[in-house]
């Protein structure tokens, strides 16, 4: 009799848990930002496909986890072939008019918002986790990310930092970069100088009032001459020679999602290893 009870309990457990996994919707992602979110919260068996960028170590911090999944280039034909129940796409994708066609074939298209701050990134993670039947996993991942981010707060002096790309682009207020810098206890020179959103930081303004520290994005990548003139300017090169700088880990940096916490940890580690920043 006890043996029968054990078998019954085991059968019930397998039925409940395997059935729950089987009931989860199949999901595909069509861009790196969706990939990174999906790879952190989805049940592995429910991932039908990730974008071609997901398994590229130069682009994706979760490249190893993405290995083995079919890849796609974000076309409607591929999604019709893959037939996921849910497709994560970037915000502008639905403008192509494909969402209605896919919906008619049983594919729900879910555009991901571009986060302006960390709170929106957390909200998006929770929303997608609930959508794909992984609410508990989403809450666990979000809670862990929140703990890690809180542990970084105020661990660095309030240096005046400028995030800079080779074309002179920077990030002012109302961007996730500005939000992240403030959460780390840093001052964003771009927002202090009135830049709002994403835009070019004037070189003349930079020379007149340089930061304590440069946060360089994509300076380690080969750029076309038309997009790197700012980075090659003698005045900037002179500033970089006498001003401390750190490189932003670029894998996933452009998404502004949960992966920001790992990038923030690397930024803080680099900053705390620098001697004598800003004459401190």
Tens digits of per-residue pLDDT, 93-142?
654 567 777 888 889 999 998 899 999 999 999 999 999 999 999 999 99
What whole-number percentage of the chain has pLDDT above 70? Answer: 86
DSSP at 26: P
Domain 154-275 has CATH 3.30.505.50: no
For the chain, residues classed under CATH 3.40.50.1980 are: 23-112, 154-275
> Which CATH class, in words, describes the domain spanning 23-112?
alpha beta
| Sequence-distant (≥ 6) Cβ neighbours of residue 242 within 8 angstroms | none
pLDDT digits (tens, 9 = 90+) for 5-58: 334 443 443 344 444 445 899 999 999 999 999 999 999 999 999 999 999 998
pLDDT digits (tens, 9 = 90+) for 147-177: 999 999 877 889 999 999 999 999 999 999 9
- pLDDT at position 100, please? 74
Q: What angle do CA 40, 44, 47 make, to 5 degrees?
A: 90
Q: How far apart are CA 129 and CA 251, in angstroms?
A: 22
């Amino acid at each position: 009799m006890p043996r029968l009870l054990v078998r019954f309990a085991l059968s019930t457990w397998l039925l409940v848990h395997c059935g729950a996994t089987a009931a989860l919707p199949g999901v595909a992602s069509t861009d790196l930002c969706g990939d990174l979110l999906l790879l952190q919260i989805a049940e592995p068996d429910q991932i039908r496909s990730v974008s071609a960028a997901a398994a590229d170590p130069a682009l994706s911090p979760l490249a190893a986890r993405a290995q083995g999944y079919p890849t796609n280039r974000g076309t409607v034909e591929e999604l019709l072939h893959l037939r996921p129940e849910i497709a994560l796409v970037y915000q502008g994708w639905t403008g192509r008019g494909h969402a209605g066609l896919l919906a008619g074939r049983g594919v729900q298209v879910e555009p991901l918002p571009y986060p302006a701050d960390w709170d929106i990134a957390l909200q998006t993670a929770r929303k997608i986790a609930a959508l794909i039947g992984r609410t508990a996993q989403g809450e666990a991942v979000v809670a862990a990310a929140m703990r890690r981010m809180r542990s970084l707060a105020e661990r660095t002096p309030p240096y005046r930092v400028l995030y800079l790309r080779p074309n002179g682009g920077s990030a002012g207020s109302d961007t996730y970069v500005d939000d992240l810098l403030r959460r780390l206890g840093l001052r964003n020179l771009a927002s202090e100088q009135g830049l709002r959103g994403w835009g070019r930081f004037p070189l003349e303004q930079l020379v007149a009032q340089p930061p304590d520290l440069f946060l360089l994005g994509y300076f380690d990548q080969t750029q076309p001459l038309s997009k790197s003139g700012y980075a090659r300017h003698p005045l900037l090169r002179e500033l970089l020679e006498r001003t401390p700088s750190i490189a932003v880990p670029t894998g996933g940096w452009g998404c502004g999602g949960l992966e920001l916490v790992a990038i923030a940890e690397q930024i803080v580690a680099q900053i705390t290893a620098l001697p004598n920043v800003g004459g401190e």
